[in-house]
Each structure stands twice: as C-alpha cells, then as structure tokens.
Amino acid sequence: MRSTFKKNIAMAMAALMCAGSLAACASDADTPNPSVTTAAPTQTEAADVTTAPAETEEPRITPNVPAANFAGHKFNVLTKGQSSATWYSRDIYSEGITGEVISDAVYKRNKKIEEIYNFEVVEIGSSDPANDAKNSIMAQNDEYDMICIRLKDHITSLITQGYLLNLNNVELMDLSQPYYDQSAMESLSIGGKNFAITGDLLTMDNDATRCVLFNKSLFNNLGLEKDPAVNGTLYDAVKDGRWTLEMLEACSMAATADIDGDQQMTNADRWGMANEQFNTLALYNAAGLLLFEKDENDLPVFKANSERSLTALQRIIPMMNADYTLFYSNAYEQVHPYFKEGNILFHLAQLAEVTLYRAMEFDFGIIPLPKYTAEQERYYSPVTAYGSNCISIPITASNIDRTATIIEALSCESMYTVTPAYYEVALKGKMLRDEESTEMLDVILSTTVFELGYMWNWGSIYNSLSTATTSNNTNLSSLFKALDRVATKAMQTSVDTILALD
C-alpha cells in the first residue's frame, strides 16, 4: 500500500456509507474502441448513478477516462489461478456472493464496473502463467488484456523480452492516482519506466507484506512488559519508535526455555522467534537498507557492500542462527502448529499467514518489523516479490484505450470496495484480536518497500545472502566485493535492455 493509505481508507469507508456507483467518465470522448456500435453512456448518465457525498466527506475520486460501451467484451486476465494453497488469485474474479468478505467485494466491484462499461471480467488461471503469456505474445495472439502474476521471476523475463507495455506511456492510465501504490511505482521503475505496478485492484501485495506476529498471552505471562529492555507493551514501543532489533532479541532470549529439560531445543520447547532465510533480507530492508538503491536517473546501483549494509548483516545473520531462533524451511509444518500451541513468542511472517491463526487459542498481536536502531526515522515493511502480484499489459493487447479504461475503473472502484473489505473487515474485524493490532496494521501497510535485488536477483545476490544466512557466515566483505562486479554486470544487462525498449 502507498504512503497515503490511511487517508484512502478513511475516504473509502466514508464513501461506503453512501449509496451509488462509480462515475464512469470525466469527458464526452467517444468510446476507445471504434468497432463498438452500441450507444455509449453519456457523461451525464454516468454521473447520475453516483450519490453526491455529504459536505463533511472528501469528494469521491473518479477515474479520468472517457465514457465507453465495450459491447460485451471479455476482459481476459491471466493469473496464477488456484495453483497455490496460500498465493492463489482471489482479487480478480468472483463467481458471486458467498459471504466470504474479499470474494463478495470483488464480485460487487466487477459487477458495478461491468454494467457501466458493458464488458465482462474473465480470469484465466494457469500453473505456469509466464510461459503461457510468452507463448501467446510470441504467437501475436490478442489473448490477454491484462497479466497479473508475481513480481519475482515470472514478470522479469517478460519485461526484458519486451513483451509488456511501459505503463507510463499508456495515455489513459494515471499512475499518480492514489489507487496505485506509489511506493511500488517508485521502487519498481527502472529508468523512468514501469512495466509492473500494484495497487487497490490487488490484495496479494498486502498478503505479501512482512510483519511480526507475537503471542500476546505468552508475552504477558512472562512479564516482559516490565523488562527494562521493553518498558511497556510492544504496541507502546512501536508508537514511541522504540521497537528495535535489540528489543526483538532481548524478548526472544527471555522467552526461550528448555521446557522438557532434555538439554536440547526441540519443538517441545519454547522459542523466542521463528525465522526463515528470507527474513535476513526482510530485517535488512526493515533497517532502511536495499541491496540496490536508485540514483538520480532512476537506475539501480549496488549498495550491499557499503559499510552500513555489512554492519547490519553482521548483526542480523547471527540472530537467524541464535539459540533462541527456530529456523524453518516450511512454515506450515514447522511453525504454525507450535505458534498455535503457544511455544513461539515471535513469528516473523507475512500478512497472508494472519488468517491461518483464526482458531488460535492464545491471543496474538501484530506489529511491524523492528527498526535497526531507535534513531531510525521510520519503520519499513518489505513486500515479498515472490508473493505479490502485479498489473501488466501485454504488447499484444489490441485496444490499449479499452484496457486502460477498464483497469482505471476497476482500480478506482477497488479503493472503495475491495481495499476496505480486506483492511477493515477481513483483517481488522475478523482476525486480529485487539484494537492495538489494527493500529499496527495501519503502520505496516503505510510503510511498504520493494526490493529490486530480490525481484531481479541480479548476480544471484539473494541466493548468496541465503547461503550466508544458513551457513552463519558474517565475513561478507569479500563476498560482496565479488558480488559487486557480478551483480552490477547482470543488472546493467537488464537495464540496457529496458532502456532500449519503447
């Protein structure tokens, strides 16, 4: 989510109290598809379906696209479908009202916009969407209007092969609008070009955002609130800017115990925190650091070998391998059962996992990843490119104005339907156990950051970091000195290719 997230939510929730539909247009322009002969709704007709907000409410945003009638066009969206137990598509299409909050919101959004523009959203799920997209585009088939697949691996190959449009050049898409994620826009662009974006149309970027889940009952029972290292609740620490890596470690050490007394730490014992190898990068990003930063020309520059980066990693990697850390490779088997049983204080997770603890007996809370030090200006919540989907348009889409109009309208409407459903109901009202956690969710989703080094993995930089983590290697200076050359060379190849694209 973008930095204006909380403002958008307030606007969205206010708008939900008003009956009415999205105003479909901002001009009297003709339909973008000249082959459509059915009469398009006029601007007046479109405006009539929107109830004016009360004077105390902020005016509802409407997309700046022309009125149009798309004559029943099937708007085909390629997604990963239901091929994953966690990272499945649920934000593009819904069959109907079922009582499931997100599904119902997606259905209502689609039906409202479909009626205004006379088209139909069709989801085409695939277990290998990148390959399907590539084959379709190479064959010059006008098969997909939009591609919605994960940011890592899947989308990068399509970008460098020139198979996706630079969305900055799509005339009817206004990427400055609040229903597009401005953090993602800034992070993912290269040389001023955006081929993949996120925003309110999608929910999976929210699901892929990193956070810390903690066993609130265990924290209270251990009396950690009175620990001088904490001096209050974890919520207080977050609000005061005191929630740091040092506090995470202190609490984890205090919570760890050999419960069965066998002199070994197993799943029968109590752990301070549960971590996987990705969390080295997550905590590194949470420290306000990126493997690749942008220069004044919006071009990535390798930064992992800076003194500050090396110092941070030399602090983080030992935590991944500490006696208080349960290091896992499969959260479903190695963490979830034990967190539910009260044997883990902190689980460094992603928001998608919150729903898996719906029936957990113990109270749990949610907070952002910690700062590196208290002096750090703000919190950072990294979005995992592996889980986050994106919005892209294939170069074979035959009617760009039609595609852009539909994406704009769906995205804008999502800000008032899908995002509030996800944020206010599915998480805040259904899963989280206390009011403080809902405040923390505001912090997490308004401080997102995307890592180009993970998305593109230039020079296998992420693999090298993972190997260093699992081998508890903190002697990184020579490693990153070598990676500087390799990763920069690989990055430059991608950049040169991208800059040569239209």
Q: Which residue has the higher pLDDT, 244 or 26?
A: 244
For residue 44, pLDDT over 60 is answered with no
pLDDT in tens, 309-339: 999 999 999 999 999 999 988 888 889 988 9
- Mean pLDDT of the chain, nearest integer: 87
User: What is the per-residue pLDDT for 161?
Assistant: 96
pLDDT score, position 266: 80
What is the full DSSP assignment across 267-308? TTSBEEEEE-THHHHHHHHHTT--SEEE-TTS-EEE-TTSHH
In this predicted model, what pLDDT tens digit does every residue of 75-116 receive, in sequence order?
999 998 886 666 778 899 999 999 999 999 999 999 999 999
In this predicted model, what pLDDT tens digit does every residue of 424-471 receive, in sequence order? 888 888 888 888 988 999 999 999 999 999 999 999 999 999 999 999
Strand 210-215 to strand 73-79: parallel, antiparallel, or no bridges (unpaired)? unpaired
The string of pLDDT tens digits covering residues 216-269 is 999 999 999 999 889 999 999 999 999 999 999 999 999 999 988 888 888 789
The pLDDT of residue 424 is: 85
Angle CA 479–485–491, to nearest 5 = 115
In the chain, what are the domains?
66-207+387-429 (3.40.190.10), 210-383+457-487 (3.40.190.10)
Q: What is the distance between the alpha carbons of residues 300 and 294, in angstroms, rounded to a whole number?
A: 4
pLDDT of residue 431: 82
Task: List, for residues 338-383, the tens digit of each pLDDT value.
Answer: 899 999 999 999 999 998 888 888 889 999 999 999 999 999 999 9
User: Across the chain, which distance is largest between two alpha carbons, in Å?
Assistant: 79
Strands 300-302 and 292-294, sheet pairing? antiparallel
- Beta carbons of 145 and 397 less than 8 angstroms apart: yes
Strand runs labelled E in 371-478: 381-383, 448-450
Q: Which of 23-37, 199-213, 476-490 has the lowest average pLDDT?
A: 23-37
Average pLDDT over residues 143-167: 94
What pLDDT score does 271 carry? 96
Angle subtended by helix axes 400-416 and 5-16, to nearest 10: 80
The pTM of the full predicted model, rounded to 2 decimals, is 0.87
Residue 4 has pLDDT above 80, yes or no: no
Task: Indicate whether 282 pLDDT > 50.
Answer: yes
- Residue 34, pLDDT > 70, answer no
∠ Cα 465 470 476 (to 5°)? 45
- What is the number of alpha carbons within 13 Å of residue 313 lying toward its C-beta? 30
- Tens-place pLDDT, residues 116-130: 999 999 999 998 999
> Strand locations in 33-137, DSSP E?
73-79, 119-125
CA distances from residue 245 to 78, 230, 369, 468 in whole angstroms, order as listed: 40, 12, 9, 19
Beta strand ranges found along 368-410 (DSSP E)? 381-383
Predicted pLDDT at 57 = 63
For β-strands 73-79 and 119-125, DSSP reports them as parallel
Strands 344-350 and 210-215: what pairing?
Answer: antiparallel
